[in-house]
């Protein structure tokens, strides 16, 4: 693994984005969002996804200079059309709108249709938390998760993010509806190691910890079995309804994960609770859980996002890890 200084990584991404038709401001924001993903250990949606993003722009699947257009405002709920612009910039824009609405009204809710993959979901939770807001957001996806009782994937592996601000580093839950992402399954399949828990079905329909078998069957296990499958459907319902955009069956018909629907909610918790009070309440809840008797001698309790903070500190100190071949590829773009 190479380790590239964070600022150098941002600069390299920005250079390529500028060359590919982004304005300076948008190139710098997108570059930072890509670098933040790798900085925080989400390599799959950072440097590892960057070249594909450029391909998607070249192929016209992402419209590089498209900015969201306001469709309608209903009270503090806004509906935007993403016009197939870059998903990370569209998502950033929407969470900003939600934060601005939350500044005025305590809470803001923004839905967007016709947007693209937002890449690392957690970025937009951190964005809200940086603004002293609770952030909640989710995206629908293409059909890639079976409903409970189904063989065929007609639900989405929707990512959902919940962030709560904390002065020493935000609390961040960034999870999708399957127990393991297909990326993680691929890592296990290559290693030959069994998954730590059941992660899907094999081709005979038996629950299994064999990642390669799950990759073949394409039947990943929803978190909490029937519960996660149900949650996935609720998230798609709300995203499609509020945005007026595509639901899963429409994205499936497109045959590519684009023209997505997303929801962004911000709650101005620092205004509601007060900054000091907020940090104290968060601290007390985290301390209480951290003080639990551990399940085993080598175990301890992490709060959501705690490992991310540890990874971030290491990667900022030592440089952000990237596969040499991937980095060479980016340098050549």
Report, as residue numbers or ranges, the catalytic residues: 45
Laid out side by side, the sheet with 77-81 consists of 69-74, 77-81, 107-115, 260-267, 134-139, 160-164, 171-175
Nearest-approach distance from CB 236 to a second copy, in angstroms: 6
Q: Looking at residue 44, what DSSP letter applies? A: G
- CA-wise closest residue to 282 among 165, 157, 131: 165
Contact pick of 69, 193, 299, 328 for a second copy (by CB under 8 A): 299
Kindly give the pairing relationship between strand 207-208 and strand 200-201.
Answer: antiparallel
- Nearest-angstrom CA–CA distance, 111 and 4: 36
Q: Is residue 292 near a second copy by the rule CB under 8 A?
A: yes
Residue 149 binds a second copy, judged by CB under 8 A: yes
- Residue closer to a second copy, measured from CB, 60 or 149: 149
Instruction: Tell me the sheet residues that pair with 136.
Output: 162, 265
In this chain, which of 46, 85, 122, 146 binds a second copy, going by CB under 8 A?
146
Question: E strand or H helix at 138, and its extent?
Answer: strand 134-139
* Of 288, 310, 313, 323, the one binding a second copy by CB under 8 A: 288
Residues 90-129 that bind a second copy (CB under 8 A): 102, 104-107, 109
Q: Does 260 bind a second copy (CB under 8 A)?
A: no
Q: Does 56 bind a second copy (CB under 8 A)?
A: no
Say which residues have a Cβ less than 8 Å from residue 8's Cβ, sequence separation at least 6. none
The kind and range of the H/E element at 137 are strand 134-139
Binders in 72-91 for a second copy, by CB under 8 A: 72, 74-77, 79
Residues 217-256 that bind a second copy (CB under 8 A): 223-225, 227-228, 230-231, 233-234, 236-238, 240-242, 244, 247-249, 252
Take residue 327 and report the two structure tokens written for it.
């980095």
Q: Which of 187/237 has CB closer to a second copy? A: 237
Which region among 21-29, 47-55, 182-190, 194-202 touches a second copy (by CB under 8 A)? Answer: 194-202
- Is position 285 an interface residue for a second copy (rule: CB under 8 A)? yes
Tell which one of 147, 259, 326, 333 touches a second copy (CB under 8 A).
Answer: 147
Among positions 88, 141, 144, 179, the unique one binding a second copy when judged by CB under 8 A: 179
DSSP assignment letter at 2: E
Within 8 A by CB and 6+ apart from 148, the residues are 222, 225, 226, 229, 230
- Among residue numbers 200 through 219, which ones bind a second copy (CB under 8 A)? 201, 205, 207
Which among 18-26, 49-57, 88-96, 147-155 is the span making contact with a second copy, rule CB under 8 A? 147-155
User: Of 187, 160, 188, 157, which is closest to residue 174 (Cα–Cα)?
Assistant: 160
Looking at beta carbons only, is 5 or 224 nearer to a second copy?
224
Question: For residue 155, what are the contacts with CB-CB under 8 A and spacing of at least 6?
Answer: 143, 144, 145, 146, 147, 177, 222, 229, 232, 233, 236, 248
Contact by Cβ (8 Å): 317, 39: no
Binding string, residues 5-44; x marks residues near a second copy by CB under 8 A: ----------------------------------------
- Region from 24-32, 112-120, 297-305, 316-324 binding a second copy, contact rule CB under 8 A: 297-305
């Amino acid at each position: 693994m190479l380790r590239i200084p964070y600022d150098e990584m941002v600069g390299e991404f920005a250079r390529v984005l500028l060359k590919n038709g982004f304005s300076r401001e948008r190139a710098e924001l997108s570059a930072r969002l890509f670098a933040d993903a790798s900085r925080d250990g989400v390599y799959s949606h950072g440097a590892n996804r960057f070249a594909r993003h450029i391909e998607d722009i070249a192929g016209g699947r992402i419209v590089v200079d498209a900015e969201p257009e306001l469709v309608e405002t209903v009270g503090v709920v806004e509906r935007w059309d993403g016009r197939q612009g870059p998903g990370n910039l569209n998502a950033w824009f929407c969470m900003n709108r939600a934060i601005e609405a939350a500044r005025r009204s305590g809470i803001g809710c923004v839905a967007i249709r016709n947007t693209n993959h937002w890449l690392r979901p957690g970025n937009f939770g951190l964005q809200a938390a940086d603004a002293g807001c609770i952030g909640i957001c989710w995206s629908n996806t293409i059909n890639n998760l079976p409903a409970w009782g189904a063989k065929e994937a007609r639900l989405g592996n929707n990512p959902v993010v919940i962030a709560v601000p904390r002065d020493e580093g935000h609390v961040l839950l960034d999870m999708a509806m399957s127990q393991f992402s297909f990326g993680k399954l691929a890592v296990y399949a290559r290693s030959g190691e069994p998954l730590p828990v059941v992660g899907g079905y094999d081709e005979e329909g038996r629950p299994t910890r064999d990642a390669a078998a799950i990759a073949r069957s394409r039947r990943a296990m929803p978190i909490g079995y029937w519960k996660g499958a149900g949650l996935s459907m609720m998230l798609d319902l709300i995203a499609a309804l509020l945005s007026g955009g595509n639901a899963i069956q429409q994205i499936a018909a497109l045959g590519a994960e684009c023209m997505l629907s997303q929801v962004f909610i911000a709650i101005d918790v620092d205004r509601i609770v007060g900054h000091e009070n907020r940090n104290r309440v968060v601290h007390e809840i985290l301390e209480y859980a951290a003080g639990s008797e551990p399940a085993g001698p080598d175990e301890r309790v992490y709060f959501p996002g705690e490992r991310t903070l540890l990874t971030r500190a290491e990667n900022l100190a030592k440089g952000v890890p990237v596969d040499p071949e991937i980095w060479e590829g980016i340098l050549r773009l």
